[in-house]
Every structure is written in C-alpha cells, then in structure tokens.
Chain A
Amino acid sequence: MIKIENLEKVYKTEEIETTALNGINLHVKEGEFVSIMGPSGCGKSTLLNVMGLLDKPESGSYKFIETELLTLNDRERSNFRKRNMGFVFQNFNLIDELTVFENIELPLIYNKVPAGERKKLVNEIIGRMNIVNRSGHFPQQLSGGQQQRVAVARALVTKPKLVLADEPTGNLDSTHGNEVMELLCELNETGTTIVMVTHSSHDASFSNRIINLKDGHVISEKINKGRTEELI
C-alpha cells in the first residue's frame, strides 16, 4: 500500500545541517502492523510525520496505493490526510475545550459527514472503546489510559486506511499501555494498516514487522513471526 523510496530530509538551522532521513526505502503492505524503532534522533518521528503528510522531505518518492503524495499542494495534502489517515500521539493531543464526544466528532466534521451520521459513528466507536459513560467529560477529567482511548477512537472514527501512532504508550503505565496496544492489535485484525513509532520492544512485539533506524538509515528489519502468521 505504501512505497517509500530514497526519502531524504534535512533540518537546517543557521549554523548546522542535520540529516534526519538519509535515503529511506520502505514498503508497507495493506493490513500490516509495522513498528519503527531506533535511538533518539534517528529520524523515526520525522519519518512518521512525512508519512502523515505533516512534513515535507527534500527528495524521494512516497506512493500511497499508486498515488504520488509528495507532489501534492497543501490543500490536496489536507484532503488526502483527512480521508485516509488517522493519528495517535504520545501526549494524546485532545482539545481541552471539547468533550470526549466532540473530540471524536471533530474529524467527521472536517470530512463533511452529516450530523445524524456523525452521531451514529461516534456512538458506535465510543461503545467499542468502552468509554460510553465518559462521552460528556472533558479530557482533563479522564485518566491517561482513558485519554489515549479517546485519541484512538478519534483516529478510527473516519475508518482510515492507515493509522499512524507516535509512541502511543509513552505517557501510560504498563497496564494502560497494554490496553492500548491490545486495542491497536484488534484494530489491525479488522484490516487497518498501522505504522507505529516506539522505544519499547514490548510494544513492538505486538506488530508484524520491526524496522530499526539509525542516523536516518534503515539498518535492520525483523519479521515478528507469531504476528505475521496471523496476517497470512
């Protein structure tokens, strides 16, 4: 589904240039669950941002089901993103001024889904995520685990083809972390493609494939056998 070739990204400040991505090649199949690991500063978040169309690389190619995405303008990128991608962040990034229900509803509004339909979809996902009794609460009134559930629900409500997760358990204790990972696995089992950046090999063990980055290069790729069989 995703074909990334020769991706390069350089950060320039007044004095120094840092190469974040240095000729990255990466293919992701539909329905796959890929983890990207590596030490701090290796370029994993940059790669995720480029994949999520939140950042532009200097050169290379990024094809999503045969569509080249790097030639799109800002408006087209926005449109593509909202139709095809969902995001889960380490620090949840929920809007504090909106309730759980309203936070989850937000991407549907940008996708111009009619109000009745929106209500149905949000209630459905709230049921699935087990947060029904929290739908009127504001983010600050929830625990970290609950907040991340809401964030996941928000990422899924538009039924995206690809979910991008940036250290989704980074701010959670192990119990809540496991809950979220199980949620992502369930999701993956229903056919959603997931790309996740993580520091935790425990979390990575939930995925089909683990890609190791260092200094902007892919240095190794490991197939997680148990999970891959399930995929096949």
Chain B
Amino acid sequence: MFKLNLKIALRNLWKNRGITSINVGGLAIALAAFILVMMYATYETTFDKENPNYDNIYVVGITYPEFKTYYTAAPFAKAIKQNFLEVESVGLIKESSFELTIKNGKKTLFTGKILAADYNAAKILNIQPKGGLVQPSGDVERLTYLSDKSMKTLFPSKKDNKPEMVGFGASNSGITGTIAGSIKNNLHSNFVFDGVSIGNELGNGDNYDMNNYTICLQLKSGTDVINLEQKITDLYQAELLKSKKGKRNDEIKGISAFLDPLSNLHLRPKAGNDTPYKILIALSVLGILILVIACINFTNLSIAQATKRAKEVGIKKVMGAFRLQLTTQFLVEIFMQCFVAIILALILAELILPSFNNLFQVQLTIWDLENKLFWQLPLILLVITIIAGIYPALVLSGFKPALVLKGNFSTSKQSYWLRNGLLVFQFSIAVVFIISLFTINSQLKYMQSQDVGFKTNQVVYIKNLTLFNKPAKMGSVNFEPVREKMLKIPGIQSATVATYIPGGTNGINSYSANGVKANIDFVNVEFDYFETLNIKLKEGRFFSNTFKTDTVNSAVVNETAAAKYGMKNPIGQTITGSGIEYKIVGVIKDFKSQGFEIAVQPTIYTINDPHGDYKTQIMVKIEENRMAEALAALKSQWLQINPKDGEDFRYEFLDELYGKLFKKQEQLQSVFFAAAILTIFIAILGLFAFAKYITNGRIKEIAVRKILGANDLQIFKLINKTFFVMVLVANLISWPLAYILTKKWLETFAYRVDMPILPFTLSALITILLTIVTVTIQARKAVKANPVDALKYE
C-alpha cells in the first residue's frame, strides 16, 4: 500500500509541479532563514560555554551614581579572596589600551589587544596556551603567548613551540622580550586577544584610586550570589573608607558592587548595553514568524489542492480505507515535501552563509560535527510537518465519499474563516516588516544627512605610541615639534593630539562649578583640536598658543556641560577638577561624538590634566585632493617626524571609525530588508495559490454571471473585492503593532526622526497593489474561459 500511496503522491506532485514548487520552495526559503537565525542564536548564546566552570564564573562590577563599570582596583581582588569562603578563586585581567608593535627582524606585528592576566585569572578563564598553562616563576616573570595567526606573521616557518626573542616598539627602542609560545585564539569568547601575558600576580603596587583591572571570580557551586553581592558591596565600601580618608561617607555609600555572570557578558552585560540581546530576540522572533508564515502557506496551499484529491479520498474510503490510514498518507506526503524543503534550505543556507557571516561578523559553519543543527533539524522537520500538515490531512481525510463522488463537490465553504484568517495574519506580519523597514530607512537617512556638528571626512587618525602629555608623564614629550614637522607637508592643514577620538568613549571625572558637583566626560587635547575636527564655537574662543594660560588652566566646555552646571554666562567662570581650578575660555556647540543613540554628554576639554589619560591619538586634517600625496609623505618621513613611535606609520580614516557607530543599525536594515522581502514574497505565494483556489471554486458562478451579461472588469472587481478587504484588514490590524514597535525602536536613539506616516501609507499601497495584481493574474483564466465549458456538466 505504501508503494501505491507513494506513487499517487509523486504523480500528484508532478502533475501540480507549479504549486508544488511554490509550496516546497517557499518553505525552503523560510527554513533557510530560520536555520541561519538558529545557528546565529546558538552561537551568540554560547560564548565561553566550553569553559568547564561556565556557570560559576562572575565578573565584579562597580555601580557609581552615574554609570556602571567593570574596572576596579587591584587590591580589592585580594580583599575578596581573604574575606569570602564561597569564592573558590579570584583573578585579575587587564586589556592593553593601545596598539603594540612586535618585531622579529623585518617582520612586524601590530597587536590590537594584549590581555594581561594573572595566573588565577588564566585558570578561571580557561586560557590554555599550546603545551598547557604554566605558572610563571616569581613576581616579575611574564609569560607572553601570541595567537597562532600573530605567531605566523612573526615566525612564518616556525614549527615547534619553543620560546622566541622579539623586539617591542620601534626598532630603535631597544626593548626586547620573549614570546613563550602560541595560543589558539578563541573568537567565540568574551575575552578575545591577539596575545596574552600571564604573570603570577598583577597590580601589586596599585591602590584603591587606580581602577585599572577587572576582577573575575570562580564561586563554589551553590553559592547564594545575591547575598554575596551584598557582602562584596559592604567590603568595597569599607575598603574605600579605609583607603580614601578624605572621601565623604555619603559619597561612598552611593557606590556598590555587583556580580555579572559570565553567561551575561556577551549579550547583556550589566555595565554596557543590551542591544545585541535585543537584536538577537528580534531576529529569533523574525525567524520564527517567517517559518510560521511559510507553514501557513503550506497549510493553505494544501487545502486549496484538496478538491483535486477529494475523489481519491472518496474512492479509497469506498474501497475500505480507514480515516487514520488516509490521514497518515497525507501526513507522509507533507513530510516528504518538508524533507525536500529542508534539504533545499540547507543548500540555500550554505549559499547565503558567507554574506550572513560578513553582515554579522561571525564565523558560522553548517558542516561542523558539534553543530546543534544536526539534532535540531529532525525536530524542526517533525514540528513543521505537524504544524503545516495536520490540518490539511484532517480536512482531506474527512471528506464524505457520498458527497465527493457525486463529482460536483467543492470545499470553498469549509474552513473559510480559518483560511481567510491565516491569510490576514500573514499579511499583517508582512505589513509590520514593511513599515519597520521604511522606518529604519528613514532613521538611517536622517542619521546620514543630519549635521553631526563636526567633520570627519578629511581627518586621518594616526595610531601612535608616543605620549604627548603636559605636564610630562612617564617619558612623554612635547607635541609641538611633531606638529610643526607635519604641517610642513603640503596638504596638511592642521594637526592635533588628544586622549580620545570622536566615536570612541571619553574619560569620566568629577568636576564642580557654580556650586554643582557632577561626573562629566573629559577629553585632554592639544591646540587645533577643534579646528581639525571643524567643531563650531558658540561663544568665547578655542585654545590658542597666544594665551600662555591655556596650557595651564584653561578649559572649553560644550553647551550641555554649561547647562548641567546651570551657567548662564560660562565664559570666565571657574570649573574645578583634577585638583586644578580651570577658567572657562570657550563654549562649543554640542556635536554628536557618540553617534545618534547616546545624547551628547556634558564634556570638558582641557590641555593640562595631571590625572588625565595619555594623549596619543593624533588627528590630522588633510586637503581632500592632496590626501594620497600627504599620506605618502607622512609614511616616508614618520621616523623623523615622530621618532619615538618608530618607523611604522599606521592610520585610519576618522569617518570610517565614526561610521562604525552606524554599523548595528545598518545590519538591522539589511536584516529587515531581507525579512520584509521574504515575508511579502511568501505571503504573495500563498495569495497566488489561494486566489487560484477561490476562483476555481467560483468558476460556475463566473460563468453564470458572464452569461447574464457581466463584463470582465466587473468580474475582476468581484473576485478582487474579498482579497482587497482582507489586505485592508491586515493593514489595519498591523498598524498599531507596527507603530508601537517602531516607536520603541526609535526611542533607542537620542536623536531621531519624528514618527513618519509615509511607511504606513506605503505599506498599504504596496500590499494592496501586489494583491490586486496577483489575484487578477489568477482570475484571468477563469474570466477568459468560455462559460459553456464551465456549465457543461451541470
């Protein structure tokens, strides 16, 4: 019997190959999208999961009144270890803040990120160099390992894992060191590095004023984390009180500690934003919705095909087939189609994967034995077979043979509401996606066209290791000679150096003015900073070397900072911080250094800051049409211009760096573009088949109407009317939902467009137009047919 059913199924599918391909193809496309989303979700939620102590590892964070951070003081690690039995192990890590050059003869490696870790941290984080983790001897020894890739760059022909001598910094620096071996760089970890440097103990000389390290803890299983969090907060406050005698008690009371589990760090760190998590949720919902739409289609199309199979069901029942047999037969048929769809989906997913990986900056592969997909897929196959197949199977197997075999049977009345409901549901989702896509587009357009308050397009950011602080800090030098030499190069209009570049994060420090004390952003700059970035002046003046006091105690603030301190006439007023009483000489207009998501922060710019960070970020403004020439000159003369940085001239264009702030939104735009196209495509496929089915059911009616004198247009109108109403209903249903969702999304931007109306009208127009075209194409055949043929068997 199975063989015969198989024959019937295959011959049927072949006979209706058009609809079959729509059905299977639509499902395959949706499944491909779903597979990718699932793989991505699995990848994103399993960072560091290979760590055997995954569930017991926490990072200590500190909550200040204005912000949260993972940076804390090294001595606190020791205090935690000494005080709490439930803490199994405490480790310290620190990421290098600037690029390091490592040399082996002529071969140069620029390391972006070197992770410094103490031996305990290395054990907690499961950092495993080749040949195993070795404990460094004594206090001074640092065992440095480079990632395989970095090692290849420096020692291309190296086969063994023996230590190697290398030079650090410029070749004239004379600093050498040893690389202990190589380490596999795990990109699927929260702690990604080009190299790692392991010491027995870190931060030995540090005190509670120096928040330079991140503490990670391995807790004993079953620890009450909330209770421990409270105890750690109490300890931290006590330690602060002990160490900072001058600090006010109530100030310390406002500071608390928290524990963030390792599983949180990648997607929703407590000290950071949870946008990746939200995007992942949105993406997962999207994937499920697309699959549901495709399943709905499948259901609708299968039922639409039902009239053709009714006779078969009738005959089989007359021959003695039980209903269960027929239900199973149809389920098996649908299972086969789903199976083919899954195979096609895997092929499709494989084809799309490179672009997907590129878009989301991940390295997903399907053909990995550890891929969870291999047990997930059979499950999906089963679930979609049941979702898409159970209803049609029950409808088909439920036909009454006495009715069916009369030969004039039609199913159009059956399950009318359900099928219309499913169609409306499909279109509602499609409308939500279309509206979201248009809203994302208009926000992105706004971000691209809006004046951000400064100009990045002619500015080159030069990576540099020389420190240019004033007053001099551990070996820093004066920037003036460097600037003078650079300005001699034709095309270079201005040059400056600062602690941070726009697009990155600024430092935060406490400043008081006008009786108000607040933590605000600070940037330490050099002359020409504002001019290089084309930042606009509101009142007063920029820094200038004609004013001797500028390098001592002058400050420039932005509009928001002036407002924060409630200063009506800021020029000439005093603002105190870092132990200096600064005089405000200028107020600049707010500029969006952090993009559009974060509101402009109150910021102070000073040249002199004894407690500031290192001024290393050189920015040069170059005439646009002499860019290549100027860069070539900088490269060739770099050793003379900036001898301490060495011979390696490295630069990036500031507009590209700033553009990275838009990357997440552009990703979202691509995803929604694909989702909107997919849902619309699948919904139209469903509509196409559904319209065919409805018209088939009305062929007799159409024929009668034509005989009675209806013209083609009237009949097109008649058939389109139902669908028009359905799509309109779908639009009305989805508008409020789309409104709420897009509004919520827009609210994640500090600077955003007003809720646009255009997407809503456009979505209605698009869906209605597509519907009319699809339905009319389908109805054409029925309308153009000779009415006599339809009535022949009356």
Binding site for B on A (CB under 8 A): 45, 49, 52, 54-55, 74-75, 78-79, 81-83, 87, 89-91, 93-98, 102, 105-107, 109-111
Query: Besides A54-B318, A97-B312, A110-B1, 9 other CB < 8 A contacts?
Result: A78-B320, A82-B320, A94-B315, A95-B315, A98-B4, A105-B4, A106-B4, A110-B320, A110-B321
CB closest residue in chain A, given B408: A91
Are B319 and A82 within 8 A (Cβ)?
yes
In the complex, B242 has a CB within 8 A of chain A: no
Give bound CA distance, A111 to B321, whole Å: 9
In the complex, B407 has a CB within 8 A of chain A: yes
- B286-319 to A contact mask, C-beta < 8 Å, 1/0: 0000000000000000000000000110111111
- B311-355 to A contact mask, C-beta < 8 Å, 1/0: 110111111111100000000000000000000000000000000
In the complex, B152 has a CB within 8 A of chain A: no
Are B315 and A106 within 8 A (Cβ)?
yes
In the complex, B380 has a CB within 8 A of chain A: no
Are B7 and A79 within 8 A (Cβ)?
no
Are B8 and A95 within 8 A (Cβ)?
yes
What are the 5 A-B residue pairs with the smallest beta carbon separation, nearest first? Answer: A82-B320, A97-B11, A54-B402, A110-B320, A107-B319
Are B405 and A89 within 8 A (Cβ)?
yes
- With beta carbons under 8 angstroms apart, the residue of B321, B322, B402 that contacts A55 is B402
Q: What residues of B have a CB within 8 angstroms of the CB of A82 in the complex? A: 319-320
Are B11 and A110 within 8 A (Cβ)?
no
Are A79 and B320 within 8 A (Cβ)?
yes
Show 19 A/B contacts (Cβ-Cβ < 8 Å), sorted by A.
A49-B402, A54-B401, A75-B322, A78-B320, A81-B318, A82-B319, A87-B318, A89-B405, A91-B407, A93-B311, A93-B318, A93-B407, A96-B15, A102-B7, A106-B4, A106-B315, A106-B319, A109-B4, A110-B1
Q: What residues of B have a CB within 8 angstroms of the CB of A105 in the complex? A: 4
Give bound CA distance, A87 to B315, whole Å: 9
Q: What residues of B have a CB within 8 angstroms of the CB of A111 in the complex? A: 320
Q: What residues of B have a CB within 8 angstroms of the CB of A45 in the complex? A: 406
Give bound CA distance, A8 to B12, whole Å: 40
Give bound CA distance, A105 to B4, whole Å: 10
Known: A75-B322, A97-B7. A109 touches B1 (CB 8 A): yes
Q: What residues of B have a CB within 8 angstroms of the CB of A110 in the complex? A: 1, 316, 319-321
Are A95 and B1 within 8 A (Cβ)?
no
Q: What residues of B have a CB within 8 angstroms of the CB of A93 in the complex? A: 311, 314-315, 318, 405, 407
Binding site for A on B (CB under 8 A): 1, 4, 7-8, 11-12, 15, 311-312, 314-323, 400-402, 405-407
Q: What residues of A have a CB within 8 angstroms of the CB of B317 in the complex? A: 54, 78
Give bound CA distance, A75 to B8, whole Å: 24
Give bound CA distance, A76 to B572, whole Å: 102
Are A107 and B402 within 8 A (Cβ)?
no
Give bound CA distance, A75 to B4, whole Å: 22
Q: What residues of A have a CB within 8 angstroms of the CB of B15 in the complex? A: 96-97
Give bound CA distance, A137 to B753, whole Å: 68
- With beta carbons under 8 angstroms apart, the residue of B11, B320, B405 that contacts A107 is B320
Nearest Cβ distance between residue A105 and chain B, in whole angstroms? 7
Nearest Cβ distance between residue A150 and chain B, in whole angstroms? 12
Known: A93-B311, A97-B15, A109-B1. A81 touches B8 (CB 8 A): no
Give bound CA distance, A128 to B401, whole Å: 28
Give bound CA distance, A78 to B321, whole Å: 7
Nearest Cβ distance between residue B541 and chain A, in whole angstroms? 89
Give bound CA distance, A152 to B401, whole Å: 18
Listed residue (A45, A52, A87, A109) with the most chain B CB atoms within 10 angstroms of its CB:
A109
CB closest residue in chain A, given B319: A107
Give bound CA distance, A109 to B15, whole Å: 24
Give bound CA distance, A26 to B219, whole Å: 88
Are A98 and B7 within 8 A (Cβ)?
yes
Give bound CA distance, A45 to B311, whole Å: 17
CB closest residue in chain A, given B13: A97
Give bound CA distance, A94 to B400, whole Å: 17
Q: What residues of A have a CB within 8 angstroms of the CB of B319 in the complex? A: 82, 106-107, 110
CB closest residue in chain B, given A81: B320
Are B8 and A78 within 8 A (Cβ)?
no
Known: A54-B402, A102-B7. A95 touches B311 (CB 8 A): yes
Q: What residues of A have a CB within 8 angstroms of the CB of B315 in the complex? A: 93-95, 106
Nearest Cβ distance between residue B410 and chain A, in whole angstroms? 15
Nearest Cβ distance between residue A115 and chain B, in whole angstroms? 10
Give bound CA distance, A107 to B320, whole Å: 7
Q: What residues of B have a CB within 8 angstroms of the CB of A52 in the complex? A: 318
CB closest residue in chain A, given B314: A93
Give bound CA distance, A170 to B4, whole Å: 30
Q: What residues of A have a CB within 8 angstroms of the CB of B1 in the complex? A: 109-110
Give bound CA distance, A105 to B315, whole Å: 13
CB closest residue in chain B, given A102: B4
Q: What residues of B have a CB within 8 angstroms of the CB of A90 in the complex? A: 407
CB closest residue in chain B, given A46: B402
Give bound CA distance, A56 to B703, whole Å: 35
Q: What residues of A have a CB within 8 angstroms of the CB of B7 in the complex? A: 97-98, 102
Known: A102-B7, A106-B4. A78 touches B314 (CB 8 A): no
Nearest Cβ distance between residue B142 and chain A, in whole angstroms? 77
Give bound CA distance, A90 to B408, whole Å: 13
Listed residue (B319, B401, B402) with the most chain A CB atoms within 10 angstroms of its CB:
B319
CB closest residue in chain B, given A151: B315
Give bound CA distance, A87 to B405, whole Å: 11
Nearest Cβ distance between residue A28 and chain B, in whole angstroms? 20
Q: What residues of B have a CB within 8 angstroms of the CB of A49 in the complex? A: 402
CB closest residue in chain A, given B14: A97
Nearest Cβ distance between residue A93 and chain B, in whole angstroms? 5
Q: What residues of A have a CB within 8 angstroms of the CB of B406 in the complex? A: 45
Give bound CA distance, A87 to B4, whole Å: 21
Nearest Cβ distance between residue A178 and chain B, in whole angstroms? 23
Give bound CA distance, A72 to B407, whole Å: 27
Give bound CA distance, A95 to B318, whole Å: 12
Give bound CA distance, A87 to B318, whole Å: 8
Q: What residues of A have a CB within 8 angstroms of the CB of B321 in the complex? A: 78, 110
Q: What residues of B have a CB within 8 angstroms of the CB of A81 in the complex? A: 318, 320
CB closest residue in chain B, given A90: B407
Q: What residues of B have a CB within 8 angstroms of the CB of A97 in the complex? A: 7-8, 11-12, 15, 312
Q: What residues of A have a CB within 8 angstroms of the CB of B407 in the complex? A: 90-91, 93
Nearest Cβ distance between residue B19 and chain A, in whole angstroms? 15
Nearest Cβ distance between residue A188 and chain B, in whole angstroms? 21
Known: A74-B323, A78-B322, A98-B4. A106 touches B11 (CB 8 A): no
Q: What residues of B have a CB within 8 angstroms of the CB of A79 in the complex? A: 320
Q: What residues of B have a CB within 8 angstroms of the CB of A106 in the complex? A: 4, 315-316, 319
Nearest Cβ distance between residue A36 and chain B, in whole angstroms? 16
Give bound CA distance, A109 to B329, whole Å: 14
Are B312 and A95 within 8 A (Cβ)?
yes
Q: What residues of A have a CB within 8 angstroms of the CB of B401 in the complex? A: 54
Q: What residues of A have a CB within 8 angstroms of the CB of B405 in the complex? A: 89, 91, 93
Give bound CA distance, A94 to B311, whole Å: 8
Q: What residues of B have a CB within 8 angstroms of the CB of A55 in the complex? A: 400, 402
Nearest Cβ distance between residue B543 and chain A, in whole angstroms? 87
Give bound CA distance, A83 to B320, whole Å: 8
Q: What residues of B have a CB within 8 angstroms of the CB of A75 in the complex? A: 322
Q: What residues of A have a CB within 8 angstroms of the CB of B4 in the complex? A: 98, 102, 105-106, 109
CB closest residue in chain B, given A109: B1
Give bound CA distance, A90 to B406, whole Å: 9
Give bound CA distance, A102 to B316, whole Å: 13
Listed residue (B7, B8, B402) with the most chain A CB atoms within 10 angstroms of its CB:
B402
